[in-house]
Amino acid sequence: MMYKECIFDVRNRNLMKTQLIPAGYLDLYLEQQPINIERQLEKFRKQSANEANLEISVAKAAVYSSMIDGNPIDFNKYKKFKSTGIKKESLLYRETFTISIAKSAFYSWAMENNSLTLDEYLKYQFPWMKTNTRYFSEILELMAAYEFAISNRLDIVTLLKTHEILSQTLLSKPVYRGKFRKVEAGLYKGKKKTYSPTPASQVESEMNKLFGDIEILINSELSTSGIFYFASMIHLVFGHIHPFADGNGRAARLLEKWFLAEKLGAAAWHIPSERLYFESIMAYYQNINIGIDYEHADYDLCLPFLLMLPMALRLKK
């Protein structure tokens, strides 16, 4: 898949080429846009100015992004967990304490026996682990990834670092964290394969092209509508490349918001895009599906997905 689209850079008065991100649908995007993005963004900025605590927005972003991927911990459960912390009466404390004792016993036993790994033992002894502490850990790690992004410039190195942070629990093998996949991948519905992403041998080169485009866009003067257009398009292209062994969805949603923040400033971190996608989850997955594989993605079908992001500006707090 190769796109040679022109983006006009007002500041430098020249034409710049993108390799992967299509710019040719921007006029149609503007024609079909149901809201005035610039006006809605200004209203949103005024509302967000009163929300001094960025941690709340980051927590909501992490919770909703995790929920899109099936995490059953909603924001109310997260707040309850946050308020109880590791108090002795909390369920999480009791579970964590029990696991710590179990680990101590395991390692003492393993000095004389090596037939089981710690992971195998814990899954056998504590089948509830995956459905309790694991989910909270994934949210906290995703929050840490957002916090890292907030204080760092977007580039390919920092993106890999955010994936390393957010995948500590998600990926048991460190070799897959913060690194592009070296294995083939696919998306499945049951046993049926529904999408084939970029072949493993091409992932790194496609990601280099994508971030070459992102660098061009960050350094180009774009309209407010253009910023939202390209943020969504980056989300879409990244999702189709599917560069990681796991965690691609949450990384794509973080990347989209990170680009917005590069162009619009800190207020972008308050935009509830993850909530919008979760509350429209059926449309989200339907609209992001524009082909059966990476090479044959049909970007003529991209507009329903691109038109979703600006609607997050209209969500009530």
Note the pLDDT tens digit of each residue in 146-174: 999 999 999 999 999 999 999 999 998 99
Encoding tokens for residue 267?
Answer: 């207020």
Tell me: pLDDT of 1 over 50. no
- What pLDDT sits at residue 124? 60
User: 92: buried, middle or exposed (CB in 10 Å: 19+, 13-18, 0-12)?
Assistant: middle
> 């519905």: which residue's tokens?
189
Domains of the chain, by residue range, sit at 5-73+136-314
Confidence of residue 48 (pLDDT cuts 50, 70, 90): confident
Contact 217, 259 (CB under 8 A): yes
Tell me: pLDDT of 99 over 60. no
Confidence of residue 94 (pLDDT cuts 50, 70, 90): very low
Least confident interval from 81-85, 137-141, 253-257? 81-85
Checking DSSP bridges between strand 14-18 and strand 187-189, what pairing results, if any?
Answer: unpaired
- What pLDDT sits at residue 218? 96
- What pLDDT sits at residue 103? 63
Least confident interval from 121-135, 193-207, 236-250? 121-135
- What pLDDT sits at residue 189? 80
Instruction: Give percent of the chain above pLDDT 90.
Output: 65
- What pLDDT sits at residue 79? 82
Residues 6+ apart with CB under 8 A from 17: 4, 5, 6, 7, 216
- What pLDDT sits at residue 15? 60
Contact 145, 154 (CB under 8 A): no
* Distance, CA of 232 to CA of 15 (rounded, Å): 22
Closest residue by Cα to residue 269 from 178, 143, 162: 143
* Distance, CA of 202 to CA of 182 (rounded, Å): 9
CATH number corresponding to 5-73+136-314? 1.10.3290.10
Tell me: pLDDT of 92 over 60. no
- What pLDDT sits at residue 187? 87
- What pLDDT sits at residue 261? 96
Confidence of residue 28 (pLDDT cuts 50, 70, 90): very high
- What is the average pLDDT score of the chain? 85
Size of the chain, expressed as the number of residues it contains = 317
Mean pLDDT calculated for residue range 61-86: 84
Please, what sign has the CA dihedral across residues 249, 298, 271, 316? negative
Closest residue by Cα to residue 314 from 132, 42, 6, 81: 42
Tell me: pLDDT of 2 over 70. no
Confidence of residue 8 (pLDDT cuts 50, 70, 90): low
- What pLDDT sits at residue 86? 43
* Distance, CA of 258 to CA of 291 (rounded, Å): 26
pTM (predicted TM-score): 0.84
Tell me: pLDDT of 246 over 60. yes
Confidence of residue 136 (pLDDT cuts 50, 70, 90): confident
Least confident interval from 85-89, 185-189, 270-274? 85-89
Q: Where are the alpha helices (DSSP H) in 151-280?
A: 156-166, 203-218, 224-241, 248-264, 273-279
* Distance, CA of 271 to CA of 167 (rounded, Å): 23
